[in-house]
Structure 1
């Protein structure tokens, strides 16, 4: 598959998440991370499954390289391992609840394996001088989660829907100066036991898009009563000594095809009929969501405790799609299972592009790559952006002399403002470079954000960002939360003065901000605090429901035109509607 060395005499490793969902690319040159970008934020297609052409082109341009200079392409799945599902066929044919899907399941895994081979042929043509390295999906998750934490010893818990055949893995990672880097698999749970599959199944049953809107179900859960369907979820997701199992009579055996429903008639009879996406949200839907979320938290706590016991480590890193369940992460943080928990900014599949590249470099050199730890602002930037006085019909642009003070004053006066500054951040959270900011003092702001800016359900909460050294005034959290990954209980001060950031369960998914991490945001929070008495702002992503975060200036201007945003601060330009 090509062994010729790069013309630039450098080891160039391109990590890819492609052809499935959340396409992304990462580039290492001589073991250092040059950058990372998610394709959806460049091509405008939510959860893009295309080959990440725009992300790859940007990365190679940043490094002054071409496709011919890539020496290794690391792919975030090891497709040969899909065939291990065929070994489960005899047992599934015997089980009464799995028999009808046993053969379709086996065929679907074989089909995916064939598609994987075609994808590898595609990549070999795009990068003729590179070797192709398939990386075990959960290993890519685990490496990224650990390296992003920048610690020397940790348990790593990866929980998602499916990676080849693994759905849950526990690893022990160590990186001490006097010892070689080590990532050891301590335990593995295989499909059909999958927490991500179960959560996605109920998300779809309740009328939202599986693989996209699980966060909506998590938010709805705060409004429901888990007791109503607690017994159902206990039967559907059972704890075991080394993990958990799913009841196939309630969550039918996975077939890798959208034609097969993921909840059974028995589940429908015990819970509620499937909700059409445009139907009203009823109390029964909130109760189902609450029971699912409660059980998810219990399973995640069980797995986190097991990870701590198996590794003996005092730190815990979380990866995989289920790690984005910030309420479950908050439960783990509050339980004291670990001294700290660390979640990377892109814990879902897009982040495995970084993990795959890291694995390929590590396996050749024995050394982990550099430039990954505690970094999230890794994508394209537009520092020299020039705008005309009228960048779009009906828009006016000007440059305020003091953008920090101007933005803080506008926010204090009740404006809802988009912020587009610096490099594109990684992951699904709004981390200050592609954000919508607003004052946290009134529920009316939340209503307006949901109704005229984000166009989403009215029960969805908004997260706060706060100066890190003031966070204890507003949330009960024992550690920093720079990537908005942990829901923490709020204080009485937050309840009394900042009701807009408090969700129905009494928590807030906080982002703690330091001047080292983000000097501009820290200055805005300081200025806003001087005006209002509280260095806290609502922070949500710069997009509308169903669209990706705005990765380019044109996408940001489109967002301003098409929503109820009052203004957009884009690379120092203050853009408003005439």
Structure 2
């Protein structure tokens, strides 16, 4: 049980993803989610590995609490679970394909365990009156994925690179009465079999940063021919009755150190040399990306079928880093394996801050926390922002009388606009509060966005945001997609009139919006539709490649100054360049 109450009698649970990539914090007070924030959006360091100082300070201030009033700190890893990896040592040492890395692998897991112990000591110093609760990483993923769906029963499939030793888990979650929530582990796959590891390995081989730019490889895959390396990827990631495995002759045994390459000389000779990040992208790179993506989709379909069989549930919740692969998620959604696929707004490790807090609350009370289901706008807001007529050198600001109509007209005229409004979104997708919006009617818009605003590869697609009740006119998707998590085939109407939102594989990663979900954005879409005939806009994140989504007004103004953005609508202020 939660050991103590705060001085004011509240039970205060702080959930943390800290000291590793995607640092984040979430706060529950008496079981209700007060908020959630990713540190990168506040400190400006993409995938920040710091303790989330700024996020925690904002949450405590939002709740009117101090660190000494936190009763429980829930951490998103249980570092004690790293030690069972040592039991794999004899088998790895006995096998020729893994022998050379067996010792280094065991030592690396011991190192990570020691780091975990140091992290717990640091948390004990920061919160001397709180109970520390380590949470199994995949359990944190699974709880958040399920709770964010706001349903009573679901299968949950978590697929990532590595928890403690788990890489893939299947859960059955059920909340059949008002009080008790049950989360049962139905199946697990352990490292070294890891789909996230495999995708990251090939991402790195192709010259992009693993753990950051897998989405670039997913986008490149649409331009390649998977057949060229299809057999190789099938051998690298064979399917099994229980899930899948990795071939260590092609994707070597994981060592928790960046000094060890994740693709083998055999893999290189069968595909291509590792591509330097600044080298041209050639057809062989696209073909390898296509084969990797195809195999990922095959594995995810295989796992989804197993999850449906083991649980009997008609809803499948996806969590973990691989759940951010919107093309694979789209394949699962269209396969008819389940009635609906749900992906939370923050399926990666940042979201486990919420899951860890939920796990600690659930352990103490058996009751699910509130304020999580359906919510994505959970971070800091700046409703009282005041700007001068010249907020920065080279910028001018004014307040339009009707922001909705003003923005819609500007977008219809081809202006590319940053939008900063309301509470910061959770997760990697801009969902209308920290977005860049543009008209979808010409491919030149994509060229401008990639070349002068986002500074990224020209083959990267841009996602559309569509009024939910009009989505069927533009994409073939049987369900809603409020968190921009699923790539769906487009209709002929979209191909003909909105080519800028169609990727090379004929899909679009769509966000569907209702007036309940986002009244302002829905109104802008309606007004834009009245002007152009189509209530559809390009929606991409308010940031530059290599930097996080702008979480603060200063970051947003910097983005306007440093990019080809034409304007920024920030809390009702229309800011343009002189």
Q: TM-score range by the shorter chain?
A: over 0.9
Spell out, residue by residue over 1:24-67, the C-alpha distance to the aligned partner (whole angstroms, 9 max, x if none): 00000000000000000000000000000000000000000000
Q: Distance in 1 between matches of 2:322 and 2:230?
A: 20
Q: Distance in 2 between matches of 1:97 and 1:228?
A: 25
Partner of 1:475: 475
Q: Distance in 2 between matches of 1:315 and 1:242?
A: 21
3-state secondary structure, aligned to 2:62: helix
Q: Distance in 1 between matches of 2:121 and 2:42?
A: 25
Contact in 2 for aligned 1:76/1:136 (Cα 8 Å): yes
1:234 aligns with 2:234: yes
Report how far residue 180 of structure 1 moved.
2.6
Spell out, residue by residue over 1:223-264, the C-alpha distance to the aligned partner (whole angstroms, 9 max, x if none): 000000001001000000110000001000000000000001
Q: Distance in 1 between matches of 2:494 and 2:187?
A: 41
Q: Distance in 2 between matches of 1:14 and 1:268?
A: 45
3-state secondary structure, aligned to 1:251: coil
Spell out, residue by residue over 1:13-34, the C-alpha distance to the aligned partner (whole angstroms, 9 max, x if none): 0000000110000000000000
1:451 aligns with 2:451: yes
Partner of 1:573: 573
Partner of 1:294: 294
Contact in 2 for aligned 1:417/1:438 (Cα 8 Å): yes
Spell out, residue by residue over 1:531-577, the C-alpha distance to the aligned partner (whole angstroms, 9 max, x if none): 00000000000001000000000000000000000000000000000
3-state secondary structure, aligned to 1:35: strand
**1:170-249 maps to which residues of 2 (within 5 A)?**
170-177=170-177, 180-249=180-249
Report how far residue 320 of structure 1 moved.
0.1
Question: Which runs of structure 1 show a deviation greater than 3 angstroms over 4 or more consecutive aligned residues?
Answer: 2-5
Q: Distance in 2 between matches of 1:419 and 1:3?
A: 44
Q: Distance in 1 between matches of 2:159 and 2:112?
A: 21
Q: CA RMSD in A?
A: 0.8
Q: Distance in 2 between matches of 1:133 and 1:29?
A: 16
Contact in 1 for aligned 2:179/2:368 (Cα 8 Å): no
**1:245-284 maps to which residues of 2 (within 5 A)?**
245-284=245-284
Please, what TM-score do these two structures have when normalized by structure 2?
0.99
Partner of 1:62: 62
Partner of 1:534: 534
Partner of 2:135: 135
Q: Distance in 1 between matches of 2:407 and 2:319?
A: 35
1:508 aligns with 2:491: no
Partner of 1:418: 418
Report how far residue 177 of structure 1 moved.
1.5
Spell out, residue by residue over 1:374-431, the C-alpha distance to the aligned partner (whole angstroms, 9 max, x if none): 1000000000000000000000000000000000000000000000000000000010
3-state secondary structure, aligned to 2:158: strand
Contact in 1 for aligned 2:464/2:539 (Cα 8 Å): yes
**1:59-208 maps to which residues of 2 (within 5 A)?**
59-177=59-177, 180-208=180-208
Partner of 2:309: 309
**1:378-527 maps to which residues of 2 (within 5 A)?**
378-527=378-527
**1:22-41 maps to which residues of 2 (within 5 A)?**
22-41=22-41
Q: Distance in 1 between matches of 2:179 and 2:386?
A: 50
Partner of 1:328: 328
Spell out, residue by residue over 1:434-486, the C-alpha distance to the aligned partner (whole angstroms, 9 max, x if none): 00000000000000000000000000000000000000000000000000000
Q: Distance in 2 between matches of 1:470 and 1:398?
A: 33
Report how far residue 189 of structure 1 moved.
0.1
Contact in 1 for aligned 2:105/2:254 (Cα 8 Å): yes
Report how far residue 173 of structure 1 moved.
0.3
Report how far residue 337 of structure 1 moved.
0.7
Q: Distance in 1 between matches of 2:520 and 2:541?
A: 17
Q: Distance in 2 between matches of 1:386 and 1:180?
A: 46
3-state secondary structure, aligned to 1:488: strand
Report how far residue 112 of structure 1 moved.
0.2
3-state secondary structure, aligned to 1:327: helix
Report how far residue 5 of structure 1 moved.
3.6
Report how far residue 3 of structure 1 moved.
5.3
Contact in 1 for aligned 2:179/2:367 (Cα 8 Å): no
Contact in 2 for aligned 1:271/1:288 (Cα 8 Å): yes
Contact in 2 for aligned 1:5/1:129 (Cα 8 Å): no
Q: Distance in 1 between matches of 2:371 and 2:92?
A: 45
Q: Distance in 2 between matches of 1:473 and 1:432?
A: 21
Report how far residue 179 of structure 1 moved.
7.0
Partner of 2:368: 368
For structure 1, which runs of at least 5 residues remain unmatched after alignment?
A: none
